[in-house]
Amino acid sequence: MSMSGNKKIILSFIAGLLLSGIALYVTFKDIPLAELVAYLETVNYWWVIPTVAIALMSFSIRVVRWQLLLNPVKKTGFWSACHPLMIGFMLNCLLPGRVGELARPAIFYKKERVAFSQVLATVGAERVFDVLVLLVSFVAVLGAVEICPTLDLTFRNYQLNKATLEMIALTTLKLSLGLVACIALVCVGQTRRFIKRTILSLPDLLFFASSSLKEGIREGLCVKLAHIIENVAAGLNLLKSPKKVALCLGLSSLVWGVAGLSSYVMTFGCPGIELSFLEIYAMMVILCFFISLPSAPGFWGLWEAGGVFGLLIFGIPAKEAAGFTLANHVFQMVPVIIAGLISSIIIGVNVLQVASTPAPLNH
């Protein structure tokens, strides 16, 4: 890896640490550190074992779902899909900017020699399924758990009430529908061909340019963009099958159900967190909306703010809410980092090099 690549990774890591530190400070500055430490000392950490085991089970389901999405691109074994996926999530925990979302298809591209943009499309499809399941869960949770209509909480500079939650859900729904519409346009052959023809004809709008310049732009940029669109469509090919879409939705529901179960099991070891599975699942869904925003590596700060908000709704005091959220965050993140490191060793991937290498979008 070049010196410039090393510097970029180091600067990115330092920036991520600073952002994490600021986010954590803002989240916990009004909670007495001594009380928080005292609470963490009362946690029964034996419950970490089943918590981690169940969390890793949710990642196993993610692997199976990604295998299904990869099938139109290349039939892939469990471990061939597992290692890039775990490395990608590990990088999301360590570096800002969600570089793991690009690192995963980049690793798969290098190991399996499959077009990067095709694999990237499957990762994008994953996120669509995740968001759809979380939105449906959010609507169901709002109807199933008791959230007072007069709820009005202030935590740091954040204001939380039922209207705020509904606004967040509506905004996410609009963005999701826009993304689904874009995917549909790419997947339908007629619209895809129209988009490609439009892209290829764009240089002709430069009436002031010479013919050679127009052809240069067409070959150097437009043809590559059209090629990427074809690859993305190939990567999304599975979405043309209603049965496979239904299966992916089922697996996505299972991913988040198991993830919620992992957090619920952690409550057994945390004094003062006496909530039902549905209430903990509601907290997790709210937390997910928070960490969907641009964040520090590992979602430090936003995770805590979302988790504390979600627990305050159900009457959990701030100290217990902060202690549980912090402990749960650590024991959800650390196993992912360890698993990602093991995967990188097994398949011989230099994760720093992958993180610093530009994605081969034209392949």
The more confident residue out of 13 and 2 is 13
The answer to whether 251 touches 104, Cβ cutoff 8 Å, is no
Least confident of 50-59, 141-150, 180-189: 141-150
The answer to whether 326 touches 39, Cβ cutoff 8 Å, is no
Distance in Å from the first CA to the final CA of the chain: 21
Given this model, what pLDDT does residue 260 score? Answer: 94
Tokens of 42: 């009362």
DSSP bridge pairs for 152 = 161
Quick check: 297 pLDDT over 70? no
pTM above 0.85, yes or no: no
Residues contacting 32, CB < 8 A, separation 6+? 319
Structural domain boundaries in the chain:
3-356
> Using 50, 70 and 90 to split pLDDT, how confident is the model at 126?
confident
Question: Which among 56, 4, 42, 43 has a CA at the least distance from the CA of 335?
Answer: 56
Tokens of 322: 């902060």
Given this model, what pLDDT does residue 13 score? Answer: 56
The neighbour count for residue 206, using CB atoms within 10 Å, is 11
The more confident residue out of 29 and 300 is 300
Given this model, what pLDDT does residue 219 score? Answer: 79
Quick check: 59 pLDDT over 90? yes
User: For the chain, how are helix, strand and coil distributed in percent, rounded to 5?
Assistant: 80, 0, 20
> Using 50, 70 and 90 to split pLDDT, how confident is the model at 357?
low
Mean pLDDT of the chain: 79
